[in-house]
Amino acid sequence: MAAPRKEDVRSLIIEVAEELLAEKPFSEISLSQLAAQTGISKGTLYYHFKNKNEILFAITDKYLDEQWKELCQWTENADKDTSLHRLVKYILERDVAGVKLRLPLFYDAMIGNEEIRTHLIRRYQCFASLIAEKISKRTDKVSGEYFAWLLLLLSDGLSMHETIRDNNLDTDSFIRLTASYIEKFFPKNKSTRESFLIPGNSYSVPFIISCFDPEGNLCSAPIL
């Protein structure tokens, strides 16, 4: 019987790690336990991953890669309405679940793990750029980069409240309401107001209002 390919063993390790991660925090999962559950020796495990960080990176990267592939397929489907408000709903619904995989990374980054911090920042920047590209194709009334980060930060917050089981927040209803507001503020194929650039940065926002500065002069101020 032929020995399993290296790619198959690596994939199996990641799969088992995901199953264990669904049951307990990553900090409570030992490499010995992971090797035993996978049916391999610790030496084989170390051959594919030098430490637990690399396993967690692999799980997170796998999820983000799958998420991005699905997003591309969805946005390129000519039979679907992929306008901005539906794009927002699609991203939030799928990313909230994925944030739970990133929470262990957040914790380790905050307590000083520089390797994890660097990896986490790099992946966020990459995913934000990809989302920004999709947003910019659907509206020129707001910075795609700004909107992408807004969605990722919102997704992180929603997921954290789900993690602590905050019964005061209905995540699904919140996402639907957010999408409905986006639909109102950014009508499809309709430009109701000029975009407005905030002095000092590149973010564009859709509304401006009249107000007075501290010296009593009439000025314009952006509202998000």
Quote the pLDDT of residue 41.
Answer: 94
Answer whether residue 40 shows pLDDT above 80.
yes
Alpha-carbon distance of 59 to 174, in angstroms, equals 28
DSSP 28: G
Quote the pLDDT of residue 191.
Answer: 42
Q: Is residue 56 very low, low, confident or very high in pLDDT (cuts 50, 70, 90)?
A: confident
Q: CA-based diameter of the chain, in Å?
A: 84
Residue 169 neighbours by CB under 8 Å, 6+ apart = 158, 161, 162
Q: Between β-strands 218-223 and 204-205, what pairing exists: parallel, antiparallel or unpaired? A: unpaired
Alpha-carbon distance of 104 to 125, in angstroms, equals 18
User: Considering the domain 60-189 in this protein, what is its CATH number?
Assistant: 1.10.357
Tokens of 219: 């000025």
Q: What is the mean pLDDT of the chain?
A: 80
- Domain regions of the chain by residue span: 1-50, 60-189, 193-224
Say whether 140 sits in a helix, a strand or coil. Answer: coil
Number of helices (H), then strands (E), belonging to the chain: the values are 8, 4
Alpha-carbon distance of 181 to 61, in angstroms, equals 31
Answer whether residue 180 shows pLDDT above 70.
yes
Alpha-carbon distance of 76 to 120, in angstroms, equals 28
Answer whether residue 55 shows pLDDT above 70.
yes
Tokens of 215: 């010296």
Answer whether residue 168 shows pLDDT above 50.
yes
- The CATH architecture that domain 1-50 belongs to is Orthogonal Bundle (1.10)
Answer whether residue 166 shows pLDDT above 70.
yes
Alpha-carbon distance of 181 to 177, in angstroms, equals 6
